[in-house]
């Protein structure tokens, strides 16, 4: 039965009816609504840019050119997309279980830290073969992130402590922790960064192969993108084709039903937070070995964790959709660096997210205009 509310009365004879949907909207509807939300967001963003004295059309054109204009910038876009993809995957798996992991930022940083520790302590010497180095760093990065996710996960599972705030606080703690090590222990010549990693600890980049394929010259896309895409595919398989993924989805949709089905919710909270942290940590490892090549705070604490949240939500928590969406956002961030005013990309992200959330309403309710006898 529809519950109708009179939202607006236009003169005599018309009424706006808002009713809950009884049937699912047609398949294309969610996509159209999402795109509509993005367009609306961009439009609104443009208005605000104009209000702040910028030129919206020029800004957007610039973004398009600066991110997809030629192969060089496309490569840069992919580089920017890699960490975003991994943090978005981290957020997606947690959000699927209604675990609000806002700490992807901190888990990212701790992953970078753990991977760097392998190089800087050093656990492995600079002569170690590259494949071993990278493998160990991958494991370390995931472990670091997993640990950082475990703490809030445990608190939530055992004491029902709000994970939004704990994960958030862990972000700030992570930054301070890494700063300590950079400034106090591993500082190179008093600068705010660690020594550069030996080349055996770098993720391979396309330009490394420029000697055999000259067209690859200058392309900084690195192995991280392969890691990220593989993780996306694996995560999709885990969520939709594995027993564990089924449990995660069931808990996320109806914890009571999950209990009824005999699933242990507490354990899953901890495991999923650890998985989420591990993925974000992997992102940190990839960034530090593929791009920065040293441990340095400011390029690491660049907000990838938060962008990941938006990307995950935009992709409706689907790992495969996260791939193109992260590339889109990579473009936004890359080009956004040169846009005045500099807060524009962040603002556009925020507007898009708000529009998206608001537009979800249209998927659950429909609006009809009905003639009414006076």
Which ranges in 97-223 belong to alpha helices (H)?
104-120, 130-159, 163-179
Q: Which is nearer to other proteins, 43 or 361 (CB)?
A: 361
Contact 222, 134 (CB under 8 A): no
Dist CA 75 CA 272 (whole Å): 32
Q: Which C-beta is closer to other proteins: that of 75 or that of 349?
A: 349
With contact defined as beta carbons under 8 Å apart, do 287 and 83 qualify? yes
CA 72-74-75 angle, to 5 degrees, is 65
Toward other proteins, which CB reaches closer, 226 or 347? 347
Q: Which is nearer to other proteins, 87 or 128 (CB)?
A: 87
Choose between 229 and 351: whose C-beta lies nearer to other proteins.
Answer: 351
The token pair at 103 is: 């700490």
For residues 111 and 166, what is the distance between their CA atoms, to the nearest angstrom? Answer: 18
Which three-class secondary structure state does DSSP give residue 6?
strand
Cα torsion angle, 87, 92, 95, 97, sign? negative
Strand partners, 371: 14
Residues in contact with 51: Cβ distance below 8 Å, sequence separation at least 6, in sequence order: none
Minimum distance from residue 108 beta carbon to other proteins (Å): 17
Query: What is the smallest separation between the CB atom of 52 and other proteins, expressed in angstroms?
Result: 5
Nearer to other proteins, 225 or 258 (CB): 258
Give the C-alpha separation, 252 to 273, whole Å. Answer: 13
């Amino acid at each position: 039965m529809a519950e109708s509310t009179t939202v607006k009365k236009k003169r005599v004879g018309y009424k706006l009816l808002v009713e809950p949907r009884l049937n699912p909207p047609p398949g294309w509807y969610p996509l159209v609504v999402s795109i509509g939300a993005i367009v609306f967001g961009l439009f609104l963003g443009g208005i605000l840019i104009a209000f702040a004295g910028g030129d919206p059309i020029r800004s957007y054109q610039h973004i398009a050119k600066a991110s997809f204009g030629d192969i060089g910038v496309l490569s840069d876009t992919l580089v920017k997309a890699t960490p975003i993809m991994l943090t978005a995957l981290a957020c997606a798996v947690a959000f699927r279980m209604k675990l609000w992991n806002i700490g992807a930022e901190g888990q990212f940083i701790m992953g970078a830290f753990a991977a760097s520790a392998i190089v800087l302590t050093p656990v492995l010497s600079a002569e170690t073969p590259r494949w071993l180095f990278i493998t160990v760093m991958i494991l370390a990065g995931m472990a670091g992130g997993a640990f950082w996710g475990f703490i809030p996960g445990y608190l939530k599972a055992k004491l029902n402590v709000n994970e939004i705030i704990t994960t958030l606080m862990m972000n700030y703690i992570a930054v301070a922790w890494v700063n300590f090590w950079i400034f106090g222990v591993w500082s190179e010549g008093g600068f705010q960064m660690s020594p550069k990693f030996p080349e055996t600890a770098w993720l391979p980049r396309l330009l490394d192969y420029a000697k055999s394929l000259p067209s690859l010259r200058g392309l900084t896309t690195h192995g991280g993108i392969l890691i990220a895409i593989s993780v996306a595919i694996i995560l999709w398989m885990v969520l939709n084709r594995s027993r564990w993924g089924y449990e995660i989805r069931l808990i996320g949709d109806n914890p009571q039903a999950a209990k009824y089905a005999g699933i242990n919710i507490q354990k899953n909270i901890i495991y999923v937070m650890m998985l989420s942290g591990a993925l974000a940590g992997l992102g940190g490892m990839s960034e530090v070995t593929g791009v920065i090549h040293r441990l340095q705070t400011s390029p690491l604490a660049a907000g990838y964790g938060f962008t990941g949240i938006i990307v995950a939500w935009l992709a409706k928590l689907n790992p495969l959709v996260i791939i193109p969406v992260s590339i889109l956002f990579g473009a936004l961030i890359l080009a956004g660096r040169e846009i005045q005013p500099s807060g524009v990309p962040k603002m556009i992200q925020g507007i898009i997210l708000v529009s998206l959330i608001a537009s979800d309403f249209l998927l659950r309710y429909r609006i009809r205009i009905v003639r009414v006898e006076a």
